[in-house]
Amino acid sequence: MNAIPDAEALYIELLRGVKSLLRPDTRLVGITSGGAWLVERLQKDLGLAGAPGIISSAMHRDDFARRGLAASAQTTLPFDVNGADVLLLDDVLYTGRTIRAVLNELFDFGRPACVRLAVMIDRGGRQLPVAADFAAQKLELPATQLLALARGDTGAFSFKVEENT
């Protein structure tokens, strides 16, 4: 990988992209944990009323036996999912397996009218037919590397690259 992407610059691009996807009844839902951080800030920066949704993929992961229950936030959807226009937010889209798990979790709460996806980075490498409606950046990484969003004490975002063992 050349350089680690500037997460704050990509956040500004994501904010622009999310604005273009918003409809009057759109509800933002962040995927734990990076997407949850993003949705909290987006909800505020967009001046949207109410609390955003937070959704966890933990209960529907296909690698649950290996990973167990993550110490991440549990699903909180402060709106009726039935008939809702849901915009999922995540930091990095990779294989598509987290999105599959999140969709299963979402449908446990009801049947939305529409579900779309916006991400900061689409790193390719899909194993399932999942595509983002908006990606702030496309970036190729070796399969041996993980790209994770971090949030500092001031709320500023950064990316860190870790070797996948």
pLDDT recorded at residue 87? 98
pLDDT at 63: 66
pTM of the full predicted structure? 0.92
Q: Domain coordinates of the chain in residue numbers?
A: 26-163
Q: Is 50 left (phi over 0), alpha (psi -120 to 50) or beta?
A: left
Chunked into runs of 10 residues, the chain (165 residues) has average pLDDT values of 87 98 97 95 96 92 59 84 98 96 96 98 96 97 93 95 85
pLDDT at 51: 96
Q: Which of 103, 121, 106 is nearest to 157 (CA)?
A: 121
Q: Which fold has domain 26-163?
A: Rossmann fold (3.40.50)
Predicted local confidence at residue 36, as pLDDT: 95
Q: Are 102 and 55 in contact (CB under 8 A)?
A: yes
Contacts with 60 (C-beta within 8 Å, 6 or more apart), sequence order? 100, 101, 102, 104, 105
So what's the pLDDT on residue 69? Answer: 56
Q: What angle do CA 31, 35, 38 make, to 5 degrees?
A: 145
Q: What is the predicted pLDDT for the residue at 42?
A: 98
pLDDT given for residue 64 in this prediction:
53
pLDDT of residue 71: 52
Nearest to 88 by CA among 7, 21, 155: 21
Identify the pLDDT of residue 107. Answer: 97
pLDDT at 115 (0 to 100): 98
Where residue 126 falls (left for φ over 0; alpha for ψ -120 to 50; beta otherwise) is beta
